[in-house]
Amino acid sequence: QKEVEQDPGPLSVPEGAIVSLNCTYSNSAFQYFMWYRQYSRKGPELLMYTYSSGNKEDGRFTAQVDKSSKYISLFIRDSQPSDSATYLCAMSHPFQGAQKLVFGQGTRLTINP
Amino acid sequence: NAGVMQNPRHLVRRRGQEARLRCSPVKGHSHVYWYRQLPEEGLKFMVYLQKENIIDESGMPKERFSAEFPKEGPSILRIQQVVRGDSAAYFCASSPLGQGYNSPLHFGNGTRLTVT
């Protein structure tokens, strides 16, 4: 079993829809949770960074962490064609190093105009 | 402000040759991380270096792979006697703070290695 599970998709939605992306994990020691966006042939770009449980909002993006369920989500409101990319969840814990990230496989998202 | 710079962007090597991948961290960052992304897979940690020190190489294959981050110059990931299975995108990230700190990583655009 992988430490971090993420549905690879692909996921295709119309422009303006609300997108929900999710990851589950098995290691209860994870405390730092991140979402990265990766365009084709580019490096991962940090979108959201949260510590422990709760919600964090940044513009059209909301990240949620539910440590009791070992489940994290990224919501994208008013989705735009420019949001079409692969979204990677990543997490880490301080005992192994906060920057030693464990990534999900990534979900390929397409927003259709 | 320049971000993490990696070169070359694309590298083609024949089986048995050596590959050298270079990473220049963000100016002022002294912590460098290398990750590998195999086709259709997420990124996997390889190695964490500080200037002149390897801190954590638990993700590095035991043979043929090595990394360094000298006092001057970029970090180098070296793969000797490459095989087809080494074909992947290799990403470098840097941080101003060490692994004990709450400091997210910022990645370069990677080097795509193709072994023929």
**Does A99 contact B at CB distance below 8 Å?**
yes
pLDDT in tens, A41-89: 999 999 998 887 889 999 999 999 999 999 999 999 999 999 999 999 9
For A19-39, what is the mean pLDDT? 94
- What pLDDT score does B30 carry? 87
Answer whether A98 sits within 8 Å of B48, measured CB to CB: no
Answer whether B105 sits within 8 Å of A101, measured CB to CB: yes
**Does A95 contact B at CB distance below 8 Å?**
no
- What pLDDT score does B102 carry? 62
Average the pLDDT over each of A23-37, A88-102, B63-77, B96-110 and give the range with the smallest value.
Answer: B96-110
- pLDDT grade for A97, boundaries at 50, 70 and 90: low
**Does A51 contact B at CB distance below 8 Å?**
yes
Contacts of residue A5, Cβ cutoff 8 Å, sequence gap at least 6 = A23, A24, A25, A104, A105
For A86-107, what is the mean pLDDT? 86
**Does B103 contact A at CB distance below 8 Å?**
yes
Percent of chain B with pLDDT over 90: 73
- What pLDDT score does A93 carry? 81
- Return phi, psi of residue A73, to 5°: -135, 155
Cis omega before residue B8 (within 30°)? yes
**Does B25 contact A at CB distance below 8 Å?**
no
- pLDDT grade for B96, boundaries at 50, 70 and 90: confident
> How far does A112 lie from chain B, in Å, by closest CA?
22
A-chain residue closest to B59, CA distance: A100
pLDDT at A102 over 80: yes
- DSSP letter for each residue of B53-90: EEEE-TTS-SSSEEEE--SSS-EEEEE-S--GGG-EEE
End-to-end alpha carbon distance in chain A: 37
